[in-house]
Amino acid sequence: MSDEPVAEDVTPLDAEPSERGILFVISSPSGGGKGTLIRRILPRVPRLGYSVSWTTRPPRTGERHGVHYFFVMPEEFIAARERGEFLEWAVVHGHYYGTSRPVVERELACGRDVILEIDVQGAASMRQLPLDSVGVFILPPSYEVLRVRLIARKSESLDDLALRLRNARGEIEHYREFDYVILNDEVERASAQLAAIVYAARAERQRQESLVRRVLTSFPEPTG
Ligand code: 5GP
């Protein structure tokens, strides 16, 4: 057997949650592929939860209440907003969308970091909150690729599709407000990059203070 050091699994690093969970705020234009990347990393990265948003947009074929969104009527959304149920909310492509405060709190309370898949306005609101967050912008390779992806998705009416494409450039122009930008030209690579960002953020020194202090207590005090 070799005495060569063996690269350890990432689990030990991961087993030490920072004191408070991290919110990973992921934005992109519609069709940018953030949902696909998130679905790929959720089962692979431990201690990572997802916050299901509320929306007044009608469900698309195959979308399920409580899984993809909580689909509600505008009056219900507004009443929930008045009750302070949203960490942030915005009107996006003509519909209300909001991040549920209890859902995020529940995930954080379970010791998980949380992924929020929200638009650039919501990301700006999140930055105003005193929460530990990391912003990631998912960039489509080109207008043409985005257009083809949106058409292939067959989820929007033609008017809606045109609206989403019109809004895309303005959304991309917000990229400077994010900590990271991932080019989504190849799903495997882009999702590996997203997972790497999660691990790197967790390992940042300022998030490891309590771990370092705990490890230090196992060392004898210096003498003399
Ligand atoms: P879609 O209708 O394609 O599911 O989503 C349209 C846009 O709304 C996307 O950019 C998506 O990220 C954003 N969105 C989804 N949930 C939320 C939310 O809770 N808050 C905000 N601000 N945007 C959201």
Q: Is 25 in the pocket of ligand 1 (CB under 6 A)?
A: no
SS3 of 26, please?
strand
Question: What is the model's pLDDT at position 101?
Answer: 95
β-bridge mates for residue 16, sequence order: none
* Helices 143-153/158-172 angle, 10° precision: 150
What is the residue with the minimal CA distance to atom 9 of ligand 1? 119
How far, in Å, is the centroid of ligand 1 from the Cα of 142? 21
φ and ψ at 95, to 5 degrees? -130, 155
92 CB near ligand 1 (under 6 Å): yes
Domain boundaries, the chain: 17-216
pLDDT in tens, 168-182: 999 999 999 999 999
CATH number belonging to domain 17-216: 3.40.50.300
Rounded average pLDDT over 202-221: 95
Query: Does ligand 1 come within 6 angstroms of the Cβ of 30?
Result: yes
Residue 165 tokens, joined:
């494409």
Strands, E, within 51-163: which ranges? 54-55, 70-71, 86-92, 95-100, 113-117, 133-139
pTM of the model: 0.89
Query: What is the pLDDT at residue 224?
Result: 73
